[in-house]
Amino acid sequence: MDLGSLLFPLLLVLLAVPLFLSARKQKRAMAEQQQLQNSLAPGDKVMTTSGLYGTVADASHDTTIDIEISEGVVTRWLRAAIREKVAETEEAVVVDDKADEDEEPATTAQVAEPLDHNAKK
């Protein structure tokens, strides 16, 4: 056998194996995402694909899910828009008991004037 007759099968194997492995990885990731979306229940903390955090309010629909993004504000999303469940972490709040009530706040933030979209330039 000469080198030319072995080159084609070798190239075929070198190209086919990575394609096969990447397809398996993608299929596994899709199955995990589908399982996540089917396992959502009210009270779960989630993040959408656009980065919005919220709490599942209603998961009884097949294709949509209601998410509470703020107290009393519930929005409806496609289940496919849920990226992941997030772990509930409690942030410690530091209270300074020695702070004077007459002290100015340490912030230098300023509030911008609202834009008037109807004003002519």
- Tell me, yes or no, whether 114 lies in a domain: no
Mean predicted lDDT score pLDDT of the chain:
81
Structural domain for 16, as ranges = 3-85
- Tell me, yes or no, whether 53 lies in a domain: yes
Question: pTM for this structure?
Answer: 0.55
Provide the number of structural domains found in the chain.
Answer: 1
- Tell me, yes or no, whether 101 lies in a domain: no
**116 pLDDT higher than 60:** yes
Sheet arrangement for strand 82-85? 73-78, 64-70, 53-58, 45-48, 82-85
CA 25 to each of CA 21, 30, 39, 43, 85: distance values in angstroms, whole numbers, following the listed order: 6, 9, 21, 30, 21
- Tell me, yes or no, whether 117 lies in a domain: no
Tokens 């942030």 sit on residue: 91
Residues 57-67: tens digit of each pLDDT: 999 988 999 99
- Tell me, yes or no, whether 93 lies in a domain: no
